[in-house]
A and B are shown apart, each in its own frame.
Chain A
């Protein structure tokens, strides 16, 4: 029988968490635009005006201002969870943040390996910290 290598738990955990969150994010992003077009007024930005503005070459700030009455914040899906663009934004945020839970789970995996791998557990936490800081928007240079 063919023998294969079984990878360390930490490595498999990272791969699986990222993979499945990405699949879910993709499915959410498939559904979002359908909901947006089903009820065009039930969106932060009406798709008819949104796409017209995008193809007119307007900047993101101008588009949010003219079509949506101002940018409601990156996590606006929390306030508008059932709107088409709220659902799409949730899918994007889910995918863009998937490294955080995966890295935390991996760090735990490294600490459960024998012998414990402190260096890589710390590096995982450092990268997860950077993802969290970036997602919360604490550090801004502009």
Chain B
């Protein structure tokens, strides 16, 4: 059924600046530059009311949020994960911002790089809408429940809840970093020995043109039921922690359903965008997403996601993964310390200790990167 809907069309050639995404990307950059210049003039000249933050600091915050978000989106897209997995742990570990505000904004961060990449992935056929809609039906239920659970914990557990959430997220991040090191082996073209009856009836397959091979690829799929159950769990984690879930959705599709790796990665972005449209609303409706705080993060994700997707096509991303694992270990350390501090188990961690741990981790990462570059990875 899906195959019959796919048509062959001759490729048209046009100037690069007329081809999407360049016209809209250039428009957004122009508006962005104009807005930040105006913002700088207005902010630095603004009078500061007693007890308020100065206009200059507000400008630095807004620009800093945008810039950090842009970098996070760039790294996350190139490394093939969602931005939330960097944003939420970093802000929870190294700032004293309220955890619900951070997790709510984390969902915005997680979903918008996925939303902006949806258009090109759908047009090119790298993402499969049938798989995305099928999984979103389950992901949405999980993510919505997770978001409601997070709001419940915040309401009834107070400071203890803040500490426990940071500890749990620290633990989850350590497990994730180890998974990336030892268990992150995915299969580019999974082999399907038997297609179950349920999956056959779903007709999920959609052929696409694989540019690196220069031919149209068909891929058989299997174990849809098991995938559905796993996706509910992934959605709950995503909604509760505001992490996004690209790190889990890709292996679930690839290892359980036998979706080719590149298709699974593209689907993951589309699915996050679709599913988090459900998870994000409980946060938005209870005021946990502060508009002026979240807006620059959204903009950074959209522009970073666009640029990251273009870079991804051209570079090998192996070493980015190592840097990411290093960041995850360091952030886990910060989260566990902050969590224990909030629970009153330990005192405030000295800056020197943070520096030593950061240095130690970065030395290991740099050695790994050098090793990978030497071996041509």
Interface set of A (CB-CB < 8 Å, partner B): 1-12, 14-16, 18-20, 22-23, 25-27, 29-34, 36-38, 40, 43, 45-52, 54-61, 63-64, 71, 73-74, 84-86, 88-89, 91-93, 95-100, 103, 106, 113, 115, 117, 119-120, 123-124, 126-127, 130-131, 134-135, 137, 139-142
Contact = CB atoms under 8 A, between A and B. Distances in A.
B337 interface: no
Interface stretch (B108-116, B176-184, B243-251): B108-116
A49 B51 contact: yes
Contacts of A43: 292
B281 A51 contact: no
Contacts of A12: 122-123
B138 to A, nearest CB: 10
A134 B282 contact: yes
A32 B302 contact: no
A48 B298 contact: no
B363 interface: no
A135 B50 CA distance: 37
Dominant SS among interface residues on chain B: helix
A23 B284 contact: no
Contacts of A38: 38, 42
A37 B295 contact: no
Interface of B: 1-2, 5-11, 24, 27-28, 31-32, 35, 38-39, 42-43, 46, 48-49, 51-55, 57-59, 61-62, 95-98, 100-101, 104, 108, 111-112, 115-116, 118-125, 129-130, 133-134, 136-137, 140-141, 144-145, 148-149, 151-152, 154-155, 202, 206-209, 216, 273-274, 277-282, 284-296, 298-299, 302-303
Nearest to A52: B53
A71 to B, nearest CB: 4
B48 A48 contact: yes
A30 B137 contact: no
A134 B281 contact: yes
A120 B128 CA distance: 12
Which of B144, B277, B288 is packed against the most chain A CB atoms within 10 Å? B277
A15 B119 contact: yes
